Amino acid sequence: MKSTNRQSPAINAGSMADIAFLLLVFFLVTTTVAKDEGLNRILPPKSEDSGPIPQRNVLEILVNKHNQLLVEGHFTEIENLRATALEFILNKENEPNLPQKKIVTIDELGTIAISKQVISIQNDALTEYGTYVAIQDALSGAYLDARNQLAQEHFSKSYTKLIEEKELDKVKAIREAIPQRISEAEPNF
């Protein structure tokens, strides 16, 4: 006699679990937990009067309310600021309009001439914060480039590499030779 209740064919679901795991692994690998990152700075103390600094030692950056940059009196695009600042920090050719040099002796580096550079930022009350951060970022980049170059000359290794390899004495020497000096004018608004 023929059976009336037809057996539905079994679907092989054995691979379902594999697919699910594959998906899980995929998302595990691709998701990144948002981490707090940013630009670290140390604000200057309230009463800081360093006295007059010679004009040539200061890279003056003025920002107006339309977020335009005036660097040493020239209109500059923010993309070019990093290169301009790098040239200023190093003053390789000892140009008379770029920072003075000072001969010092630093452990690990010996006797070298370092530049007496200071970078000054002055912004308008209505300058956008985004522009300010972009300037700070460009200047950080310029200092990093300058430090990388100095490290390459003395230790045949970039500054970033020195940090990675935890050669703290050398890192400290480089930082001492090229200190990050970004000053911000007291607000006049």
Partner 1 sequence: MSTASLPDIVFMLLFFFMVTTVIQDEKLMIEIEKPSAIQTEKIEQKDLTASVIVGLNQESRIPMIQFEDRFVEAEKLGNLLSEKRAMLPENMQGKFITILKADKEMPMEVITKIKQQLRDFQLFKIQYAVNVKR
Instruction: Select 104 or 133, whichever has its Cβ closest to partner 1.
Output: 133
Nearest CA to 141 out of 65, 53, 61, 81 is that of: 81
From 56, 68, 112, 141, residue interacting with partner 1 (rule: CB under 8 A): 141
Does residue 62 belong to the site contacting partner 1 (CB under 8 A)? no
Identify the burial level of 32 via C-beta atoms within 10 angstroms of its C-beta, where 0-12 means exposed, 13-18 middle and 19 or more buried: exposed
From 43, 55, 97, 103, residue interacting with partner 1 (rule: CB under 8 A): 43
Does residue 41 belong to the site contacting partner 1 (CB under 8 A)? yes
From 24, 53, 113, 168, residue interacting with partner 1 (rule: CB under 8 A): 24
Non-local (6+) Cβ contacts of 152 within 8 A are 158
Does residue 29 belong to the site contacting partner 1 (CB under 8 A)? no
From 134, 149, 157, 161, residue interacting with partner 1 (rule: CB under 8 A): 134
Site string for partner 1, 96-125 (x = CB under 8 A): ---------------------------xxx
Site string for partner 1, 160-189 (x = CB under 8 A): ---------------------------x-x
C-alpha distance from residue 45 to each of 51, 116, 160, 183, 184 (Å): 15, 21, 29, 11, 12
* Torsion sign (Cα): 172, 89, 144, 34: positive
Q: How far apart are CA 71 and CA 139, in angstroms?
A: 12
